[in-house]
A = this chain, B = another copy of it.
Amino acid sequence: MNKSELKVISVLERVGGFASAQQLHQLLLRSGESIGLTSVYRALQSLVDDKIVDQLRKDDGEAIYRLCGEAHHHHLVCKSCGSTVEIEGSALEKWAKAMAEEHEYREVGHLAEVFGICPSC
């Protein structure tokens, strides 16, 4: 666990959810840390390998990361203003688990997001 990895973990803790490598780098710089983008990528890759960080892909192909420890949850996102609400996901969790078991998949994870227009928009 080197300096870069510690810095990346601390910013991921601060973020408390998913963020891209570029976002994390910007956040580190803004908070006064001195670190190169290369080191952010290297640290993230190493943390993913060690299963300390989860990596997945947005629809546009960019990788996003979060601490594995983060409480897992889902969002209701407004397509118009971008505001988000955290939503209750037990039914979804059950569904994802059932689907994975039915097809005998291991090391299962999932991604789910609900989009719409919020009442105030």
Segment touching B, from A7-15, A32-40, A88-96: A88-96
Query: CB-CB contacts of A39-57 with B at 8 A, as 1s and 0s?
Result: 0000000000000000111
Kindly state the separation between the CA atoms of A70 and B63 in the bound complex, as whole angstroms: 28
CB distance from A65 to the nearest CB of B (A): 13
Say how many copies of this protein the assembly contains: 2
Decide if A113 touches B111 in the complex (CB within 8 Å).
yes
Kindly state the separation between the CA atoms of A108 and B62 in the bound complex, as whole angstroms: 21
Kindly state the separation between the CA atoms of A98 and B62 in the bound complex, as whole angstroms: 28
Pairs of residues from A and B, 5 with the lowest C-beta to C-beta distance, nearest first: A105-B116, A108-B116, A112-B112, A91-B95, A61-B61
Give the interface of A toward B (CB within 8 A): 55-57, 59, 61-63, 76, 78-79, 85, 87-89, 91-92, 94-96, 98-100, 102-119
